[in-house]
A and B are shown apart, each in its own frame.
Chain A
Amino acid sequence: MSLSFEAAVRSRGFDVELAVEAGETVAILGPNGAGKSTLLTLIAGLLTPDTGSAQLGERVLFDVPSTGRGRWLPPHRRGVSLLAQDALLFPHLSVLDNVAFGPRSTGMPRAAALARAATWLERVDASHLGARRPAQLSGGQAQRIAVARALASEPALLLLDEPLAALDVSVAPAVRRMLRDVLADRTAIIVTHDVLDAFTLADRVVILEAGRVVDAGATRQVLDRPATPFAAGLASLNLITGTAEREGVRSSAGDLIGVRFERAVAAGARAGAAVRPARVSVWAHEPHALAAAQNVLSGVVTDLEPRGDIVRVRSAELAADVTPGAVAELDLVPGSPVWFSFAADDTVAYAL
């Protein structure tokens, strides 16, 4: 079932319009406080908007005009399940009864509800846990049960609020794999911080910033051609925004960046240029005698972030991945003046 949604919550500066096709999984990405959880609570019916309307299939979830009385469907009649970061299994019920809770609540006879619960426990590889109490489960197990519980109520729409964020890194991959299986062909919205979740689980991503949608589209496209610094950060890309010219992109700072245009961009139009940190070199002195197709920009080191066998060197505008040996050789510390160089060929430009 498809979802159409638009709502505003003034006190939170939230004003979002969103559509989800039937069977589609949409990932919501955005910095803290962007309004991701507000979006989910509005759809689930745990918060009422100031204005807006939402419809799930034929069902009107809410319809609140700016004046006059509107309609508002209580959470239990929406057919929307919410899976949170914490599993929130009911501590007084066994695992099986937790999963059977949804079907039982909608009037299914106990035996049938338990049978359905058993089926769902099997789907999440947790059949052997049925008799346990939630307190006897590990975090990964609990989240599997929570998924089974959310799906056993056969929601028309499944909402997932950072379902993997509270899990140990060692168990997250298995739960992510399980989610990928159960989310196939299911209408779902997943809020996440992790770009990996977006790639594995979502068909489409929507980027929220400060209560507004700033970018949306197919996952790969949004993350390969980021429109905002946040999206670029998620995708681990350097993003330079500016104006398209015939020879390249004129950055906001006034530098002309040599780029490779994927598709022609009209001169004078807003454009972004993206380059991977791994393709950026760092120099302690201004480099000379470089090939003509190299961009050189100066900057000041703000941060050195070790990442396994490389170190990410950041300035206010750019990031570059270099070896620890290079950092030592160049004697880089925060505050060091440096020059960055990167090839025009590695720099992809696109219209914003």
Chain B
Amino acid sequence: MRRRTTIATAAMAAAMTLALAACASGGASSDAPATTAAPSPSAAALEGSITVYAAASLTSTFTELATRFEAAHPGVTVELNFAGSSDLVTQITEGAPADVFASADEKNMAKLTDVGLIDAAVPVDFATNVLQIAVPPTNPAGVASFADLAEPDTKVVICAAQVPCGAATVKVEEATGVTLSPVSEESSVTDVLGKVASGEADAGLVYVTDVAAAGDTVRGIAFDESGEAVNVYPIAPVTATKNPDAAQAFIDFVTGGVGQGVLAAAGFGTP
């Protein structure tokens, strides 16, 4: 019986693979030669379009940066694709036509350098993000420090350890020795903020940029221990890019003065 099952499963797997292959061939041509003729790093010569895959937490900043970059380089069009970093890694691995990848953490960048889709030497860190305590505007529980979150009457909502903001929370807990008893471990920052903004929870732990983006609905409280878990954002051109010059120019723009200014305004730190 076991053998029979295996064969059936293999058959289904084969069918599935065929279906996927059929889908993929319609979209991208990832097997095109990666070499390009006569690289000329002159800004004036830049033209064509590039596709930037960026972590969801970069949505507002990168949208603004893309507009500014296009203004500075009228010949270039920037396409943006935002999603969770791990989803983006999956898409690029499956052959999606990305030129630049901006990850919310080093772990996901490493997944691509490990398989050679990105040259291990090129990723540069362009921003950092740290946790901040989010409380309802009235701060009903009077939270002022990280240690206050461990108060038994304070209802704290954090991210689950499986998602990046939750991993950072665990790191801070370990470093400080403060153990939180959250009432909920959410699977996304949005859910944490939603519960804090509605007043269901007294406090939540999210990234400082999330607090900034949430506007008046929540209040952010910075805490020193957040330095124990600094999330570093790396950016790199994808090896298979057909427009390496424009890709590099965009990366330089992000790490340059304009990029850093926009990122700082959104709450990001400098690496």
Chains A and B touch (C-beta atoms under 8 A apart): no
Chain B residues in the interface with A (C-beta under 8 A): none
